[in-house]
Amino acid sequence: MTHPAANDVRVGSVLRGTYEITSLLGKGGMGAVYLASHRRLPSKQVAVKVLRGGADLSPEQYARFRREAEIASRLGHPNIVEVLDFDTLEDGTPFLVMEYLRGESLEQRLARGPLSLEETMSLTRQIGSGLTAAHRAGVVHRDLKPANVWLVPMDLGSSVGTRVKLLDFGISKMLDSQTIQTQDSVLMGTPQYMAPEQAMGRNREVDARTDLFALGCIVYEMLSGRSPFEGEDNGILQVIDRIVHSQPEPLMLLRPGLPEHVLSAVGRALAKSARDRHADVAAFIQELTGRPLLSLSRTAMPRVFMPSNPRMAAVVAATDRSSKDGEGEEPTLVPASTVRFAAPVPPASASERPENPPGEIRRARRPVPKWVVGVGWAVVVVGFSAAAWWMRSPPLTPERPSAPAPVREPLPEAPR
């Protein structure tokens, strides 16, 4: 079977014998996105992103596109678009296969006007959850903007909500990477959402606080209906000059009546110096909404140790993957009028815990029976003994690999 080149992709084309193109979803300067069906799983719809360029594609463009696929697929978070496959056409043009997302971008939503405070808080918490997962994996997005925030409608019977999906990790930066070096003086990102260090081309200073600045810009825009650094002249140089040297119009003048902690959180996120911003996105969300991110309380911290024994390493890796189940902020599933937000909770000390969110019932703790503690220690001792025996035992004879586990079908949702 021959495979189409970039210019030959059209309705009816079959990519790599698997993905049959059914319609064109969108086209831009970088390429096109198509709706496709999986030939062996006809009910499964996917979005196929084909990069423009073909044989003329530079090695840097190819590497960037492949990096987008690798990063998004490894993050595995409910608020980040799922990448399912990566391959090339006959002429070498790369394409990636993503979950198909219904809905619209935040940019399209903002074209109809500002959002309510309640909706802004809900969407921001979900954006923050996805960003936090990326940052903890050592990835900075660097091009966070409303066009890269997708809003997926969710109909759950009597409740309707919105699930946020972050898109386009194509120019993301891997922190501490020894293989990807970004030179200074090269602008990477979208001007109106660039942090000052980005706008001045100081790419070696880019870190998670750079994404935080962009998130602050997005929250400002959701509440006011305009981006903080837009003006009469929105040329690139003019926008960059405002980002580096000017303060945005006070949010309280554009949206009177906002809570003080919201104004404070957004103002701090937009600080010119990264040192003056919040330490991370989670701290910003805490001040903005008065509640910690759920993903931080339900997700294990990144591991700094990997056993050298291959079998034990496989167990650890499997444990890491299973810890992602249920991770992330839940979509809004109740009428906005019923949602209330707490006043900001001050940072807790090591001995303190965050206050219960409004509406939650504080449950009294019952003392743990001594026999439970004894059983727990016994399980730990047996577990360590079994692990030690396992690592000392000779390698097992390889068995014939079993059939792969079925792939969980994502909710039918929308592309960018």
373 and 311 in contact (C-beta within 8 Å)?
no
pLDDT at 84: 92
Pairing assessment for the beta strands 19-28 and 139-140 based on DSSP bridges: unpaired
Q: What percent of the chain has pLDDT over 90?
A: 45
pLDDT at 313: 36
Render pLDDT for 48-90 as a digit per residue (tens, 0 to 9): 999 877 667 778 878 878 887 888 788 889 999 999 999 989 8
DSSP secondary structure letter of residue 157: T
State the span(s) of the chain assigned CATH 1.10.510.10.
104-310+317-338
Task: Please give the order of strands across the beta sheet that includes 104-105.
Answer: 104-105, 149-156, 159-166
Q: Tell me: is residue 145 an annotated ligand-binding position.
A: no
Q: How far is CA 93 from CA 8, 13, 27, in A?
A: 11, 15, 16
pTM: 0.68
pLDDT at 31: 81
Q: How far is CA 169 from CA 71, 74, 358, in A?
A: 7, 12, 35
With a cut of 70, which residues of the chain have pLDDT below it?
Answer: 1-7, 29, 54-55, 156-159, 170-189, 295-416
pLDDT at 319: 32
Please tell me the CATH superfamily of domain 6-99, with its number.
Phosphorylase Kinase; domain 1 (3.30.200.20)
Render pLDDT for 287-308 as a digit per residue (tens, 0 to 9): 999 999 975 433 333 332 233 3
pLDDT at 4: 63
DSSP letters for 96-154: EEEE--BSEEHHHHHTT-PPPHHHHHHHHHHHHHHHHHHHHTTEE-S---GGGEEEEEE
pLDDT at 108: 96
State the span(s) of the chain assigned CATH 3.30.200.20.
6-99
Catalytic center residues: 143
pLDDT at 203: 81
CATH placement of domain 104-310+317-338: 1.10.510.10
- How many beta carbons lie within 10 A of that of residue 372, not counting itself? 9
